[in-house]
Amino acid sequence: MYNESYYKYTKDDIMILNKVSSKNDEVLILRKPIIEDAKSIIEYLNKVGGESDNLLFGKDEFHLTEEQEMEYINKVNKDTNALMILGLINNEIVGIAQVYGSNRKRIVHNSEIAISVRKKYWSVGIGSAIMSELIRFARESGKKNISLGVKANNQKALKLYEKFGFQKIGIHKDYFNINGTYHDKILMMLQI
Ligand SMILES: CC(C)(COP(=O)(O)OP(=O)(O)OC[C@H]1O[C@@H](n2cnc3c(N)ncnc32)[C@H](O)[C@@H]1OP(=O)(O)O)[C@@H](O)C(=O)NCCC(=O)NCCS
């Protein structure tokens, strides 16, 4: 009998969450990560960080080793309060997102989300498809609130969040420092 705490999520455990068509008719697979994805996830994050100034890290600023990423994948897949989603087109990672929250009883009904899509796939519906899955998970796992933070001039992300009903609830002044220039973070939330 295996011990759950040593269980590794491998190819046998692939869990497809959804399969949808993008606006340019490509098949987008949304699934949970497995440990074999670790290298591609690190490569993805190091590339996507350089494709906009809107994430918390820039190009080549994601520093986990493959082993650390594998450990993270196992941890997040076991956490009933969290979901990591990979979006793949033709076996290439084109988007990654997460919903996560605390296990503490007093705040377990809250969750936060983070999302990114590779630049060459922007505006074809991938962000929206991923967002639907994040909200579905939050709802099905009994969450009441979803919150997020977005750089104030990130129009595309603001549009995406407003489309799903998120409302602006505050501003964290000068949260981002992008090459010496400060930018506010807009705090948003959705009650589900
Ligand atoms: C923000 C981001 C996730 C959006 O993903 P996406 O796959 O491009 O989103 P979608 O194609 O589903 O578009 C969502 C909505 O954004 C708006 N939108 C999309 N493209 C747009 C454009 N070129 N101009 C203005 N609004 C646009 C539309 O309202 C669209 O909804 P609709 O297609 O129903 O009209 C993506 O641009 C991204 O990863 N950016 C870099 C990282 C980032 O900013 N992450 C968010 C940090 S808070």
Ligand 1 atom with the smallest distance to the CA of 124 is 11
In a domain, 171, yes or no: no
Mean pLDDT, all residues of the chain: 94
- Ligand 1 within 6 A of 126 CB? yes
Domain of 18 in residue numbering reads as 14-143
pLDDT bracket for residue 4 (50, 70, 90): very low
Residue 7 belongs to a domain: no
**Is pLDDT of 1 > 90?**
no
The answer to whether position 56 is within a domain reads yes
**pTM (2 decimals)?**
0.94
Look up the CATH number of the domain holding residue 27: 3.40.630.30
- Structural domain includes residue 9: no
Identify the CA nearest to 49 among candidates 35, 63, 38: 63
For 33, phi and psi rounded to 5 degrees?
A: -80, 155
If you count them, how many residues does the chain have? 192
Those residues whose C-beta lies under 8 Å from the C-beta of residue 127, and which sit 6 or more positions away, are: 95, 115, 117, 157, 160
Write the residue with the smallest CA distance to atom 24 of ligand 1.
156
- The Cα 134–Cα 98 span in angstroms is 7
One-letter amino acid at 190 equals: L
Classify residue 172: in a domain, yes or no: no
What mean pLDDT is predicted for residues 11-25? Answer: 89
Number of compact structural domains in the chain = 1
70-91 CB burial, b ≥16 within 10 A, e <16 = bebbbebbeeebbbbbbbbbee
Per the DSSP assignment, residues forming a β-bridge with 178 are 181
What pLDDT does 3 receive? Answer: 43
Distance (angstroms) between ligand 1 centre and the Cα of 103 equals 30
Tokens, residue 140: 């099905």
In a domain, 58, yes or no: yes
* Nearest CA among 108, 81, 83 for reference residue 98: 83
In-domain check, residue 54 = yes
